[in-house]
Structure 1
Amino acid sequence: MSVVQRFCARESAALGDPLAGSAAHAERNLLLSWPRAKWRRSLRQASDMPEAVNARLEAIAESGRRVNLIHRRDQSPECHRLYLMPENRRYEVPRDALPAFLAALQEDESLARWEIAPPQGPLLLCCTHGKKDKCCAKFGYATYRALAAAVADRGLPFEVWESTHLGGCRLAASAVVFPALRKYGRISDEHVVPLLESEAANHPYLPCYRGDSRLSPLQQCAQVAALEWLAGRDLRPEVRVAEDATAETADRRRLSVHWRDGEQTGRLAVTCEARTLRRHDTCADIASGPPTPSRVWVATALEAVATQY
């Protein structure tokens, strides 16, 4: 008797697990190219990584800068590409010089000897970390290939890389755009070109948008709801989500979202409610036991309020 293979990404989508509010990500990042075949389960370790490099990366992560490994076939395995975000700086470092580079980064010394021209456009990372979760291998790699092919075919201004774990395996295929720090999930073939075109115009692509990583989950929920409401009126404005929310009940919050589009301005009041879902966050969780409760936010009401930006 055959066994139906289960994937956390499919189960999450079937549950109605919302994308909005799931975009948590550190603002300070170090990205280091390393051949995908050598990646381990950890997002920043590889099987052939020298101990001196591994120790430096762990110390950098402990200091508050997230470290991800990235991969492209055209990148030499012996000369590594590194990026600092949000600084948007790019470096080329031979493997034997990595300990010196990482030490200089830790000690806030000059990195000029390794620096090359900054990226000419956004950096787009797509999680393909199969050693972490099989959804990222199954859905992430196909999406990475589609994104890279679309960029090459259309001459779009992106650098597309495979990446280790970006968070939210259940939302595969997942991606993040630097330096804007916008996160996406459930990207499939029909989303690839419109997502790239939207990001090329420096706008979030709403059908797959998880939110601005600089905001809290509640604020992300309100932000995405406001952007969708505005897009329905052919507006793509700048938006600012209030830091404070009005508590209507224990599980109900009301936030203000201010927007500006040229000379037009306005304010929206977005009501978000907490819901509890029982879900598996990763495919490994499926094998280890029943789903566990998770709290999510859902926008349930929105109204326009006359005010100044």
Structure 2
Amino acid sequence: MIQRFCARESLAQGDPLAGSAAHAERNLLLSWPRAKWQRSLRQASDMTDAVATRLEAIAEAGRRVNLIHRREQPGERHCLYLMPENRRYEVTRAELAAFLDALRRDAPLTRWEASSPAGPLLLCCTHGKKDKCCAKFGYAAYKALDAAVATHALPFDVWESTHLGGCRLAASAVVFPALRKYGRIDTADVLPLLEAEMADRPYLPCYRGDSRLSPVQQCAQVAALEWLAERSLHPSVSVSTPSDPEASRTSLIVKWQTGSDQGAVAVECIQRALQRFDTCADLDAPAKNTWVWQAVSLRQLEPHLHLQKKSCPHHA
């Protein structure tokens, strides 16, 4: 019997990466041995009730909580990150409840503070108790990312993580503090992804979008970035908001700037129906009908570089 995986089904169904990058901007990342992770993204089997309750309260107050792991981190001494503050802390198991109390009260955390991250923080979902794709594809991607960082002496902190959203898009990763999300990371993508992030730009073959944008804005952003990259441009971009949030077809303006050059393009996006399996647990049931955004055309508005109007057949 051939084993089925939701990630392979997603790819076969043409489920797009762009537009799937939803993620909270405020995050608490807490190191905890992976062997103790539960199905919940923020609970472990050996957590005290005091710690578990405080983590739930922090999540309810609006800060996403993920558990993270790497082999060299001592199990009884926790590394914690606050994002987007880009702060790092070292806390013993005995003091963890006190630290979380201080965080909830917005009290000083100075006595636990450690040096800030030297470079980007990269989390790769390996949460096998949530979905088997994250165990199979996520762990392979994590090992490859971690090995590449060590081999090339790159300034990344790479961690395994609990659920990051989009199990069907495994291997899935997020980069802080940029808050860029990636999916379907294969071993061939590892070094190019790290090199792109070193240049503070997204690696487009696996890019799901900027988590601060809505799904349709992410769709327009990725289409514009791909169009610009084809012209050897890697600018900063800004995306307009839809005039009608309920519309199933919309045109968004993406403005770009790099050095002395700037311009704008109009990206037309439509919603299309897709039947998919969100997780491996859904594979025994009928596929779910859902709606995804797709860029169908792109039109240049300010032809500073004499670029011609171009359609987006690769988004069709």
Give the structure 2 partner of residue 114 of structure 1: 112
Give the structure 1 partner of residue 277 of structure 2: 280
Deviations 1:26-73 (A, max 9, x none): 000000000000000000000001110000000000000000000000
| Structure 1 CA distance for aligned equivalents of residues 266 and 276 of structure 2 | 30
1:295 correspondence with 2:291: yes
Instruction: Report if aligned partners of 1:143, 1:187 keep a CA contact under 8 Å in 2.
Output: yes
Give the structure 2 partner of residue 96 of structure 1: 94
User: Aligned AA for 2:168?
Assistant: R
Instruction: Report if aligned partners of 1:270, 1:303 keep a CA contact under 8 Å in 2.
Output: yes
Aligned-pair Cα RMSD in Å: 1.2
Give the structure 2 partner of residue 210 of structure 1: 208
| 1:251 to partner: Cα distance | 2.2
Instruction: Report if aligned partners of 1:126, 1:175 keep a CA contact under 8 Å in 2.
Output: yes
Give the structure 1 partner of residue 144 of structure 2: 146
| 1:239 to partner: Cα distance | 0.1
Give the structure 2 partner of residue 190 of structure 1: 188
User: Aligned AA for 1:275?
Assistant: R
- Structure 2, unaligned runs of 5 or more: 305-316
Q: Residue 157 of structure 1 aligns to a residue in which SS?
A: coil
Deviations 1:201-251 (A, max 9, x none): 10100000000000000000000000000000000001000123468x942
* Pairing partner for 1:256 from 233, 236, 253: 253
User: Aligned AA for 1:303?
Assistant: R
Deviations 1:240-277 (A, max 9, x none): 00123468x94211000000011101010000010110
Equivalence map 1:30-49=2 (5 Å): 30-49=28-47
Instruction: Report if aligned partners of 2:91, 2:112 keep a CA contact under 8 Å in 1.
Output: yes
Q: How many residues are matched?
A: 304
User: Aligned AA for 1:129?
Assistant: H
Instruction: Report if aligned partners of 1:29, 1:86 keep a CA contact under 8 Å in 2.
Output: yes
User: Aligned AA for 2:217?
Assistant: Q
Identity of aligned residues (%): 69
Q: Residue 156 of structure 1 aligns to a residue in which SS?
A: coil
1:176 correspondence with 2:174: yes
| Structure 1 CA distance for aligned equivalents of residues 303 and 170 of structure 2 | 39
Instruction: Report if aligned partners of 2:240, 2:253 keep a CA contact under 8 Å in 1.
Output: yes
Give the structure 1 partner of residue 302 of structure 2: 306
| Structure 2 CA distance for aligned equivalents of residues 228 and 285 of structure 1 | 32
Cα 1:232/1:46, change in 2 over 3 Å: same
Instruction: Report if aligned partners of 1:24, 1:216 keep a CA contact under 8 Å in 2.
Output: yes
User: Aligned AA for 1:128?
Assistant: T
| 1:98 to partner: Cα distance | 0.3
1:63 correspondence with 2:54: no
Give the structure 1 partner of residue 314 of structure 2: none
User: Aligned AA for 1:7?
Assistant: F
Equivalence map 1:230-245=2 (5 Å): 230-245=228-243
Q: Residue 293 of structure 2 aligns to a residue in which SS?
A: strand
| Structure 1 CA distance for aligned equivalents of residues 247 and 181 of structure 2 | 28
| Structure 2 CA distance for aligned equivalents of residues 108 and 125 of structure 1 | 26
Q: Residue 283 of structure 2 aligns to a residue in which SS?
A: helix
Instruction: Report if aligned partners of 2:242, 2:251 keep a CA contact under 8 Å in 1.
Output: no
| Structure 1 CA distance for aligned equivalents of residues 131 and 242 of structure 2 | 36
Deviations 1:122-149 (A, max 9, x none): 0000000000000000000000000000
Task: Please report the TM-score for the alignment, with normalisation by the length of structure 1.
Answer: 0.97
Instruction: Report if aligned partners of 1:246, 1:255 keep a CA contact under 8 Å in 2.
Output: no
Q: Residue 278 of structure 2 aligns to a residue in which SS?
A: coil
Instruction: Report if aligned partners of 1:246, 1:254 keep a CA contact under 8 Å in 2.
Output: no
Instruction: Report if aligned partners of 2:121, 2:175 keep a CA contact under 8 Å in 1.
Output: yes
| Structure 1 CA distance for aligned equivalents of residues 274 and 114 of structure 2 | 46
| Structure 2 CA distance for aligned equivalents of residues 209 and 27 of structure 1 | 17
Cα 1:162/1:21, change in 2 over 3 Å: same
Give the structure 2 partner of residue 265 of structure 1: 262
Q: Residue 116 of structure 1 aligns to a residue in which SS?
A: coil
| 1:306 to partner: Cα distance | 1.8
| Structure 2 CA distance for aligned equivalents of residues 154 and 145 of structure 1 | 14
Deviations 1:63-116 (A, max 9, x none): 000000000000000000000000000000000100000000000000000001
User: Aligned AA for 1:263?
Assistant: S
| Structure 2 CA distance for aligned equivalents of residues 221 and 244 of structure 1 | 12
